[in-house]
Amino acid sequence: MNGETYIEIVFKIADTEYREMIMAELALNGYDPIIETEEGLICHSLPDIFSPEILDEVSEHYSEYTSVSWESRNQPTKNWNEEWEKSYQPVEVENCRIRADFHPFDPSFEIDLVINPEMSFGTGHHDTTAGMIRLMLKYPFHDSTVIDAGTGSGVLAILASKLGATSIVAFDIEPHVVENANQNASKNNSNIKLYCGSVAELKHLPEADYFLANINRNVLIDEFPYYHQYTKPGGLLFLSGFYDADLPLIEIALEKNGFRKVRSETSEQQWVTLVAQKVA
């Protein structure tokens, strides 16, 4: 990214109670990391993924509840990196610590993940990523096969590697995101096969013991048939990226596609992380 420009998007949000929800919507659409300000939020995008339509859609959705507006401007990437390093802090999820390479190593944590997200989703700061990590830590990944759909920074695939998975395939639809995930995999000495594309576009994926997908509600539901295809009988599907209010819809779609919910957890911000088993 050195030498490139990026687009800085400044959101003004009147009521602070809605900032977390708007931040989550932006992050799930690729505008991440995000910095909170006194007036609202600042997020960032590379020119090739900048979408005024998405930003307008998010603004219009929340304008019913609070005053929301946004504007954008081009900025040199170096300036943003410096600002991000000042605000970015490590994330701790049980015995797992997620840090950038400019943070010192902390030996008190059993699992150390070095993640430089650049413009990719998956720093661990968002409830959905933290929720996926929390549930993954409860399952035996040793000698398992894993698929990570919409990998973002690669954090979940890298965690699977740290937990002992021996075959890991991860993919994302944005080339620069796949490049970032490759860099992070290298930093963590993780052997991950990374591809650019969607689960519908990629062919001949291996069947997985664990299928991971932290995306959003509509994409998840549309892709459930593919998740079923690439999950082994009895294998587990880990999901996040949707609210508690969407859980009944997700459960119905899972049952239609041969999965049974095993467990789910809901964060304080009402984001759900779910584990389902392939039963048919």
Q: Two tokens at 239?
A: 């999901």
Q: Which amino acid would we find at residue 75?
A: Q
Shortest CA distance to 219 belongs to which of 265, 180, 181, 172?
172
Say yes or no: 65 and 25 in one domain. Answer: yes
Q: Which amino acid would we find at residue 139?
A: Y
* Domains contained in the chain, number: 2
Shortest CA distance to 147 belongs to which of 238, 217, 224?
238
Say yes or no: 148 and 262 in one domain. Answer: yes
Q: What is the pLDDT of residue 217?
A: 86
**What CATH number corresponds to the domain at position 144?**
3.40.50.150
Say yes or no: 56 and 184 in one domain. Answer: no
Say yes or no: 144 and 255 in one domain. Answer: yes
Domain containing residue 140: 88-278
The pLDDT tens digits for 13-48 are 988 778 878 887 787 777 766 777 888 888 878 787
Is the pLDDT score of 210 beyond 90? yes
Say yes or no: 76 and 116 in one domain. Answer: no
* This prediction's pTM: 0.75
Shortest CA distance to 188 belongs to which of 165, 208, 171, 218?
165
Say yes or no: 97 and 76 in one domain. Answer: no
